[in-house]
Amino acid sequence: DAMFKQGFLNEVYKERPVKPVITRFPPEPNGYLHMGHAKAIAIDFGFARYHGGETILRFDDTNPDEEKEVYFESIINLVKWLGFTPSAITYSSDYFQKLFELAKELIKKDKAYVCHCNETEIKLQRGGKEGKEGPRYRCKHAEQDVETNLKKFQDMHDGKYEPQTAFLRMKQDIENGNPQMWDLAAYRIPKNKTQHVRAPEWKMFPTYDFTHCLVDSFEKITHSLCTTEFILSRESYEWLNKSLEVYEPMQREFGRLNVSGTIMSKRDLKKLVEGGVVRGWDDPRLYTLIAIRRRGIPPGALLAFVNELGVTTAKTVIQIVRFEQTVRRYLEFTVPRLMLVLDPIPVTIEDVEETQEVEVPYSPKDPKFGTHKVRFTKTVYIDRADFREDDIKGYFRLAPGKTVGLLNAPHPIKATSFTKDEVTGKVTGVTAVFDKETKPKTYIQWVPDNSIKLEVRIQRPLFKSDDPKTVEGGFMNDINPDSETVYTEALIEEGFNEVRQKAPWPVTAGEEGGDSGPETVRFQAMRVAYFAMDSDSTDDKIVLNRIVSLKEDSGK
């Protein structure tokens, strides 16, 4: 909770040290949440929780052209996944009538007018490009009397205007240096006359600038926390609540969280999904929250990361490797360990007469994980990468005449011979004997006969560069052709069944509120990587995703 105890968020609280604290997380239901939203969720919910208050999940659904049912559901699930419980789920559209009444109040106070100017005209009135091309002025509509404005506003409400032929504009302060005070739009008629799912009777809709501060006020939000793009909007936020003499929440702004080496904008992600470059919006190579969840990253690790970064007003651009380092550290102490072989070759150990059982701890770091039994069979499987046909200097794994240790097995083994497929040239089997004399330099993982077969997907960064959007020809020219390797013949020891049954494995870090589903079957495959079960798994076929490698830059 260091995030709330000191620094920016502590200062925000000190500016208004009230109880109870009420915050809101206000997503627009127009896309899937991404990693940046996790920061906003952690701040909005965490701040209220830290101060003994509560948080409303509010769908800012004022733009029917963009909204879809799936996004609502996904957002609710992800907030829960992160371990937070909203005190209420609300919708800006619930307040359309109340907002309409207040808009009429504003007109009566001569602080709003119905304007029929087009985009070009409005731009000119606002001083042209960046407000620097000419003097600012108001159009003739600003002179209309209250009666006319009320009548026209009612006509907008009744659907008597075509899209974009009438706006309600706030009469703010065009002398002010802040563009957010230059008579912003309060109501508009949507381009496509799209029907609002939750409010089908409405033909005009309030803008963000009109809605957000008022709904914050209706919901008695004490601290309205948002990202720094809204700094200039703070003045209009305060202006409207003051003008209408309603309860005034306090808006404060923190820096966004962006991730380098990937893209997060909806439009760009859509191209990847529709172009078949990835498996969907939740492809583990993406940084949407559904992708992060599917990849098996524990919510606690994501929150730990946000906490580590801290909160200031500066924008944070993080490198993927830095995030993975936190995930790795989190997993080290919270998941069991198993033996898995990606590309198996059989090794027959001549000295093994009958199968023995060895007792193996699930975690060398924490006895609380318990132990399980592994069969040590006459034929075991090792990874192709751990065998060489010719021994060389400095090589410490298995080769003819060379001894290697088998993790958790009774004795080291020495290879005596091997067989090869004449067509493919690939090694098909190795014969070995016990070597009780030599102390091996390396221990490798193995699995017994009759282990569980599965598919393993090793994902790597989807893009080659740190800033895919600046690559010539666009991000589509920056796709890493090796972003996924699939092993279809991988084997895992039977302990996997128990790990799967007990998932989510009892964790020692963080709170894991809504952490459920196949992706909570997480473990470390010794010497390989951290893995989680993929949602593509069926009764007959298990699929794993790599959560992170064991070490930074490990080539596997």
The answer to whether residues 79 and 293 touch, using CB atoms and an 8 Å cutoff, is no
CA dihedral 287, 291, 295, 298 (to 10 degrees): 80
Residue nearest Mg ion, CB atom distance: 28
| Edge-to-edge order in the sheet of strand 413-420 | 443-444, 403-406, 413-420, 427-434, 344-349, 379-383, 447-448
The minimum distance between CB 250 and ligand ATP, in angstroms, equals 15
Query: Of Mg ion, ligand ATP, none, which one sits near residue 412, judging by CB under 5 to 8 A according to partner kind?
Result: none
Q: Which amino acid is at 29?
A: P
CB of 34 to Mg ion, least distance (A): 9
Place of tokens 């703070």: 234
Stretch that binds Mg ion, among 24-32, 93-101, 171-179, 451-459 (CB under 5 A): 24-32
**Does the protein bind Mg ion through residue 28 (CB under 5 A)?**
yes
**Smallest distance from Mg ion to CB 152, Å:** 29
Work out how close the CB of 270 gets to ligand ATP at its nearest, in angstroms, rounded to a whole number. Answer: 12
Dig out the tokens for 463 from the structure: 């893009």
| Site size toward ligand ATP, by CB under 6 A | 13
Site for ligand ATP in 308-337 (CB under 6 A): none
- Please say whether the beta carbons of 281 and 290 come within 8 A: yes
Binding partner of residue 465 among ligand ATP, Mg ion, none, CB under 5 to 8 Å per kind?
Answer: none
**Which is nearest to 96 in space by CA: 71, 66, 142, 63?**
63
Q: Which of residues 274-313 bind ligand ATP (CB under 6 A)?
A: none
Residue that has been written with the tokens 């919708």 in this structure? 91
Catalytic status, residue 28: yes
Return the axis-axis angle of helices 208-218 and 96-108, rounded to nearest 10°.
Answer: 110
Closer CB to Mg ion, 212 or 546, in the complex: 212
Work out whether 440 is an interface residue with ligand ATP (CB under 6 A).
Answer: no
| Residue 268 makes contact with Mg ion by CB under 5 A | no
Smallest separation, CB 231 to ligand ATP (Å):
12
Among 80, 123, 198, 266, the active-site one is 266
Residue pair 429/255 in contact by the 8 Å Cβ criterion: no
Task: Tell me, yes or no, if 256 is annotated catalytic.
Answer: yes
x/- map, 19-38, ligand ATP, by CB under 6 A: -------xxx--x----xx-
Structural contact between residues 294 and 284, judged by C-beta atoms closer than 8 angstroms = yes
User: Which residues, 246 to 265, sit near ligand ATP by CB under 6 A?
Assistant: 256-258
Ramachandran quadrant class, 50 (left: phi over 0; alpha: psi -120 to 50; beta: rest): alpha
Of 80, 203, 256, 279, catalytic: 256
Phi-psi region of 473 (alpha: psi -120 to 50; beta: other; left: phi over 0): left
Q: Name the residue nearer to Mg ion (CB basis): 28 or 238.
A: 28
The beta strand positions in 262-378, using DSSP E, are 316-318, 337-338, 340-341, 344-349, 356-361, 371-376
Which residues of this protein are in contact with ligand ATP, per CB under 6 A? Answer: 26-28, 31, 36-37, 39-40, 226-227, 256-258
Which residues of this protein are in contact with Mg ion, per CB under 5 A? Answer: 28
